[in-house]
Amino acid sequence: MANKPQIDTYLIMDDIIEKLSLLDYENAFCRGWKHKRISRVYFSHPALGEEEDIHRLHMLYDMSYWLMSLNKEQVSAKLIDFSIFLF
């Protein structure tokens, strides 16, 4: 087998934070869902205990739900615009 390249999880997490910033997650997600801002090593650094693992899981669940709801809001806005066009 050929040597597989190492994946730098810190670099990937840095890219994720940058993309979340483009979505203005600090205002839309952190304030709306009452979460703290995510550090650039939050998911890539090993957890310090079970409680932190549970908190990370809740954060991931809430963030995933928020990200999926963004498309729903855009689709709803487009449907409203389209219905106004029809009438």
Number of structural domains in the chain: 1
Percent share of the chain, pLDDT over 70: 80
pLDDT, tens only, 12-43: 888 889 989 988 899 989 998 888 898 888 88
pTM above 0.85, yes or no: no
Separation CA 38–CA 82 (nearest Å): 37
Q: Residue 4 domain-assigned?
A: no
Give domain status of residue 1, yes or no.
Answer: no
Both tokens of residue 71?
Answer: 């498309």
Does residue 87 register a pLDDT over 80? no
72 or 56, greater pLDDT: 56
Query: In the structure encoding, which two tokens stand for residue 30, read together?
Result: 């952190």
* Closest C-alpha among 50, 55, 49 to residue 38: 55
**Does residue 66 sit within a domain?**
yes
Q: Where are the beta strands (DSSP E) in the chain?
A: none
Give the pLDDT mean for 4-18: 85
Model confidence at 79: pLDDT above 70? no
Provide the residue range defining the domain that includes 65: 9-86
User: Is 3 contained in some domain?
Assistant: no
List Cα–Cα distances, 24 to 17, 28, 30, 63, 67, in angstroms.
Answer: 10, 6, 9, 13, 11
